[in-house]
């Protein structure tokens, strides 16, 4: 089996994965800001890291997966201006901030459960770790890389950049960033540098969420929360830090700066980032009218959707693109994925009943090697799925008695498909409330077809078979009787 290699945004190359403390692995992923319902962009990111989590466990690692919840400190702009997103929603809806958080947390967990994501090992909240954020801020001040002005604590970016490559993760030049911030200083005259960001913000009188601190009442900045929680649960340095690529320029860049300023070491060995979603070639956004919630996608309740698509079909669709590639939603692509998913699930069902022979007419190890080589190549799920579909072709061929398989190979095929399809890719067989009725109806139709065949009315028999095929149901006549599958 090939070694696991992971693309590191920091080094911009694939690196052989060597945990700091094998077999233990620490992984931190930036979680949602709970001021609205979960959107598909979030889901793709968390689904990608769900596969990473699953595969590392499959390889035998003991993984501590930490995914936080942001329930305070995320302001409306990427800078340090505007209103806290959760506080604003609470004010508009006349709710307590934690009521807002609870409402959207329930929705978030339901959506991830629909997509069959495993829960993280620890799911800490920013508001539950204010003490840790204050202590980290105090340490950064002591190390001379932050300063306090009128109750707000600012990180001194330009001073930090004199001894550490501040823009290392994004690859941008510091001068370009400084140039781009010249006109963005309104209301921030207290800052010494244009790139300085808040570790702790002074709370205005109308601000709902506030805590006491050495600098007066206030609330933590957005970036400090992840540095504090990751170090608390994974240590000052851990294996993998993940999130969407939109977090690279500011949030993750500032996380690294804070951790180095506090602990004198970069927090994570490997930084992983998922790419964005598009719809029919356009960026998904509310302003373009092409943004829809998972529930709308499942039920087909959107003008751009021809119909609904099940959670497992959507998961399968997402896994057919590499996590670092842009993924484009379209009805045609989702419908193609639906057919592929059904074909894969039907093949999995067939394995148990495959008849065995003295020899196998195919090389099973080749398929297995291709699957693992793909997953070991930076979790390349689309290539792994393509290899599995070569197995699907062979399974169908064996079922049609065109190929043969030994009992030992059958056991290995069943093990591979069970472990990769279900345990690693996180797919599962879907059932509906009508499954028993459909089965009963099909049994009735096949009995009627059997009657017309007994009467040698083969034209009627063929018509029943052909009409069923038009609606996606394939009927097969074999020596052991009649079977049917839905495509």
Among residues 247, 274, 242, the alpha carbon closest in space to that of 44 is found at 274
Q: How far apart are CA 79 and CA 81, in angstroms?
A: 6
Question: What are the pLDDT digits (tens) for 345-374?
Answer: 999 999 999 999 999 998 889 999 999 999
Split at pLDDT 50, 70, 90, the class of 378 is very high
Question: What fold is seen in the domain 278-424?
Answer: Isoleucyl-tRNA Synthetase; Domain 1 (1.10.730)
- Predicted pLDDT of residue 438: 60
**Which burial class, exposed, middle or buried, applies to 389 when counting CB atoms under 10 A from its CB (0-12, 13-18, 19+)?**
middle
| Greatest Cα pair distance in the chain | 94
| Dihedral over alpha carbons 185, 187, 189, 195 (to 10 degrees) | -40
Q: What was the pLDDT predicted at 434?
A: 44
Pairing of β 152-155 and β 197-202:
antiparallel
Please give the helix or strand (H or E) that residue 314 lies within, else none: helix 311-319
Q: Considering only CA atoms, which of 237, 315, 369 is closest in space to residue 54?
A: 315
> Tokens at residue 319, please?
């896994």
Q: Look at 370-384, 402-416, 461-475 and tell me which has the smallest mean pLDDT.
A: 461-475
Torsion over CA: 117, 123, 127, 133 (sign): negative
Q: What is the residue whose two structure tokens read 């809806």?
A: 93
Percentage of the chain beyond pLDDT 90 is: 64
Cβ–Cβ under 8 Å, residues 348 and 396 = no
Distance of alpha carbon 412 from alpha carbon 420, whole angstroms: 12
User: Which band of pLDDT confidence, cut at 50, 70 and 90, is reported for residue 180?
Assistant: low
316: pLDDT strictly greater than 80: yes
pTM, whole model, 2 decimals?
Answer: 0.86
What single-letter DSSP state applies at residue 117?
Answer: P
Residue written as token pair 């069970």: 418
Q: Residue 182 pLDDT > 80, yes or no?
A: no
Q: What are the residue ranges spanned by the domains of the chain?
A: 5-274, 278-424, 435-486
Task: Report the pLDDT value the prediction gives residue 79, as an integer from 0 to 100.
Answer: 54
Question: What's the rounded Cα separation, in Å, for the pair 413 and 399?
Answer: 14
Q: Which CATH superfamily groups domain 5-274?
A: HUPs (3.40.50.620)
Separation of CA 465 from chain center: 41
Is pLDDT above 70 for 77? no
| Residue 107 or residue 285, greater confidence | 107
- Return the number of other C-beta atoms located less than 10 Å from residue 192's C-beta: 12
Summarize pLDDT for 471-482 with one digit per residue, the tens.
768 787 765 467
Contacts of 56 (CB under 8 A, 6+ apart): 25, 27, 63
> pLDDT digit string (tens) for 114-123?
999 999 999 9
Q: Quick count: other Cβ atoms within 10 Å of Cβ 173? A: 10
Q: Are 450 and 305 in contact (CB under 8 A)?
A: no
Model confidence band, residue 433 (pLDDT cutoffs 50, 70, 90): very low
Smallest CA-to-CA distance from 108 within 62, 165, 69, 60 is with: 69
Segment 126-139, tens digit of pLDDT: 999 999 999 999 99
């Amino acid at each position: 089996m090939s070694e696991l290699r992971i693309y590191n945004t920091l080094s911009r190359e694939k690196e052989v994965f060597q945990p700091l403390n094998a077999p233990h692995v620490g992984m931190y992923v930036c979680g949602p800001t709970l001021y609205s319902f979960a959107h598909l962009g979030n889901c793709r990111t968390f689904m990608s890291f769900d596969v990473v989590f699953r595969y590392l466990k499959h390889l035998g690692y003991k993984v501590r997966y930490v995914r936080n919840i942001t329930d305070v400190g995320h302001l409306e702009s990427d800078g340090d201006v505007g209103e806290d997103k959760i506080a604003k929603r609470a004010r508009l809806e006349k709710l307590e901030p934690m009521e807002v958080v609870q409402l959207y947390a329930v929705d978030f967990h339901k959506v991830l459960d629909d997509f069959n994501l495993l829960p993280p090992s620890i799911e800490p909240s920013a508001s539950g770790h204010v003490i840790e954020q204050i202590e980290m801020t105090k340490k950064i001040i002591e190390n001379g890389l932050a300063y306090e002005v009128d109750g707000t604590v600012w990180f001194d970016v330009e001073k930090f950049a004199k001894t550490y490559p501040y823009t290392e993760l994004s690859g941008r030049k510091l001068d370009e960033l400084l140039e781009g911030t010249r006109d963005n200083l309104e209301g921030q005259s207290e800052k010494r540098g244009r790139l300085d960001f808040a570790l702790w913000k002074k709370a205005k009188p109308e601000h709902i969420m506030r805590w006491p601190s050495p600098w007066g009442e206030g609330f933590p900045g957005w970036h400090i929360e992840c540095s504090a929680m990751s170090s608390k649960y994974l240590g000052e340095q851990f294996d993998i830090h993940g999130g969407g690529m939109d977090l690279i320029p500011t949030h993750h860049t500032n996380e690294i700066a804070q951790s180095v300023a506090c602990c004198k070491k970069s927090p994570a060995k490997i930084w992983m980032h998922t790419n964005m979603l598009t719809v029919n070639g356009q960026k998904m956004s509310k302003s373009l009218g092409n943004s829809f919630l998972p529930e709308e996608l499942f039920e087909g309740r959107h003008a751009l959707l021809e119909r609904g698509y099940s959670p497992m079909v959507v998961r399968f669709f997402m896994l057919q693109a590499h996590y670092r590639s842009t993924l484009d939603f379209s009805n045609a692509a989702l419908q193609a994925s639906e057919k592929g998913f059904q074909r894969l699930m039907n093949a999995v069902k067939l394995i148990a009943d495959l008849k065995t022979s003295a020899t196998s007419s195919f090389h099973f190890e080749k398929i297995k090697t291709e699957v693992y080589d793909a997953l070991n190549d930076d979790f390349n799920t689309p290539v792994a799925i393509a290899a599995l579909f070569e197995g699907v072709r062979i399974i169908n061929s064996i079922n049609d008695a065109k190929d043969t398989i030994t009992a030992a190979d059958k056991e290995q095929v069943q093990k591979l498909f069970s472990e990769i399809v279900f345990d690693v890719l996180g797919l599962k067989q879907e059932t509906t409330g009508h499954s028993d009725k459909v089965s009963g109806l099909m049994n009735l139709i096949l009995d009627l077809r059997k009657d017309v065949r007994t009467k040698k009315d083969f034209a009627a028999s063929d018509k029943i078979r052909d009409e069923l095929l038009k609606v996606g149901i394939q009927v097969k006549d074999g020596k052991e009787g009649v079977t049917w599958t839905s495509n």
